[in-house]
Amino acid sequence: MSELSLRLKTIASLVPIGARVCDVGTDHARLPIYLKQNNIANSVIATDLNEKPLKFAKENIEKSGVSGISLRLCDGLSAVENGEADTVIVAGIGGEVISEILENCCWIKSNSVTLILQPTTSPEVLRKTLIQSGFDILTEIPLFENGKIYSIMTARFCGNTLNYPEHFYYIGKVPKNENGIIYIKKQQKRIFDCISAYKNIPAKQKEYELLRKIYLEIEKILTENT
């Protein structure tokens, strides 16, 4: 099996020792195997929507010789019951899809369950879904790998709908370190592209004004203490 990527190693570093993990969209089970080989997770449920990745996952698990990994063919968390996991990982999937997976699972709404999430697209959709569903985002780690910038976030249910400004959904709690600046500027560029597209479309003026305001707020954040 190939060496674990920096992205997956970073995710693994966020898993508490002794956790009962569910890895959604496990693909070839590289992360679950790593968690067991390094005595990080007590148990892992690895789910995937498709049979083929689970077939390879089963082969990889058998080759690794580890135990304590349960494979389940299902959509998101639909085959995982309350109490089976206290740490849920959903990584390498678009923000809209992660949002749907979380919205379709009731038992994650507990302060004893930690979410580790890494959206590949539309992180603002995921952040807004989390906040509006009573979760709070605890930490974010910006990660640059293979020419792509991601944010790996941890979240937990708090039961309150927290009040964040609109620009928060685009940049979250990403710190202003080297990778963080790259991430924030990427998000700002996405907003700029939308502003440019909406500027001369009468039906999009409301969205144009909102995004323009968000763009200026992010610009202010980038120039603070620099």
Question: pLDDT tens digits for 163-178?
Answer: 999 999 999 999 999 9
Q: How crowded is the C-beta side of 216, counted as CA atoms within 13 Å?
A: 5
- Clarify whether residues 124 and 34 are in a common domain: yes
- Clarify whether residues 142 and 185 are in a common domain: no
Q: With beta carbons less than 8 A apart as the criterion, state whether 99 and 133 touch.
A: no
- Clarify whether residues 199 and 119 are in a common domain: no
| 211 domain-assigned | yes
- Clarify whether residues 46 and 153 are in a common domain: yes
Q: How crowded is the C-beta side of 158, counted as CA atoms within 13 Å?
A: 13
Predicted structure pTM score? 0.95
CA 56/CA 11 separation, integer angstroms:
21
| 148 domain-assigned | yes
| 11 domain-assigned | yes
| 174 domain-assigned | no
Name the band, by pLDDT with cuts 50, 70 and 90, for residue 156.
very high
Q: With beta carbons less than 8 A apart as the criterion, state whether 173 and 194 touch.
A: no
DSSP label of 202? G
Question: In terms of residue numbers, what domain contains 196?
Answer: 179-223
pLDDT at 1: 52
